[in-house]
Structure 1
Amino acid sequence: MAEYRINELAEASGVSVRNIRVYQDRGLLPPPTIRGRAGWYSDQHLVRLNLISRMLERGYTFATISELLHAAHHGMRVEQILRGSPKGGRFRNFKRAATITINELKKTLNASDRSIALSQKLGLLAKDGAHYAIQNPELLEGAEILVKSGVDLEFLLDRWVRVQGDLEDVAASFVSIITDTYFDENLPNLGEQGVSNMADLIQAVRPMAHEIVETTFRKALDEQISRAIGEAATYFDAATTGDDEPDTTAPDSTGDQSGPGYETTDIGTLNTETGR
């Protein structure tokens, strides 16, 4: 896979260095891989730049391009894009500003050096000089809500790392649907067209895989939430029952009528002397 410095990427794509940085700031182009003090771009960046250029030529706005690229990345359909309503939020405003300071991260998310490093590793933040570029405002907003509710940010990010590993296994499982069928001794003889067809099949798996994972996860999440609420209700009921349970050692409200002249029956106490 070819790698490019930003000047080389600009020359290969026909997009100026300035516009490449603008696309990154607007979230249209993923950040480069940082090695040492240099940023390196890949063929995927070049493909994305060519796509952005063609869409701009057709009159699409940055906002529309962003939505379409996001939808394509997740295998979404047009109706899924239109289903949701536009949202506003503080971190979405930060995205338009492109960056957030370390002081803002520590203030809003109680972020530590480790949690900031984890956020970079997960692609949530990208170092941009003395600031950090926000790659996913929605996730930052959700994290802020959890942190304000008492959830430790590092705990949340560690769980994300674990889930990421699980999902990599899921992704490999879906891709293997194609590779297990076509990656055999006949692979070298497929020819250019055969390899192209196989690549198209792998891409065709994406929306199906996304739909299966989304549907299955939604169902599993609903079940786990219901179970958690049920457990919480059990604890609540037990506590309530303990508070409301009558004291069986307390005297009856009618007074203690046991003793000479009285006997207990199924319908109360009967005065054996008067018959009443």
Structure 2
Amino acid sequence: MLHTLCNVESGRLSRVEAEEEFTVDQLAAKVGMTVRNVRAYAGRGLIPPPRLVGRTGYYGPDHVARLTLVQELLGKGYTLAAVERMMSELPDGAMALGVFQTLVNPWTPSEPEELDELQLAEAAGIPHDPAIIAKLVELGIAERMDNGHLRIPNPDLLRTGLEVIKLGVPLDAIFILLPKLFAQADAVAKTYVELFRSTVWRQFADAGLPAEGWPEIQRTLENIIPLAGQALVAAFREAMAREIEVVAYEELGLDPNTLPSTG
């Protein structure tokens, strides 16, 4: 889907009329770049040429959106060469850029956090152990930084794990659980994405990717994640309650089949 989106012909999208235009200095200030970087990115084709009035170039919403996206992609670790390839395939139009940003920016409930290894051990209530830190890095829970600190991409996930440790669940058991949890989360995510792809996106693509349809596509992408999360939590609560009852009956030597049906 992303490949198809990125290869939409520019002619299919109407350029957004600029309600506000900027000189190169104003553009650099708006996106938080130096003028030198703006010009360097322009020279590499990452933004289209400005609208010229005499010898002065004026930049609009597409330029702001593209430069913002360039910063985000570089911040995520993409090389400049990779960003160039992606941006070269990106169609014109602020709305298409918005959809692309939605696709490349995974929804996360909180901003990444930074802490050192001792702070992490203290938060978990366990002695500092380099092997544990290495395992967290291996699982993607933490990332090593040049200053020796750890970057936590998803602090909510880490905090949940720390709370489970405080309940008395051994750390080794959590390390065994996490890959299974990630795999199951991936499977659920693929189910919802395929649902979007085979319905809303397919109808939009079959209609020729009309410019007026981009806002609805972006709204769907932005809303499907929290809605999917709500449905997943509701289903999980019911399944978890049922599973706890089954295990409780088994541990007490009772027949789980005597449980009342929840369905």
TM-score with structure 2 length normalisation?
0.46
Structure having the higher strand fraction is 1
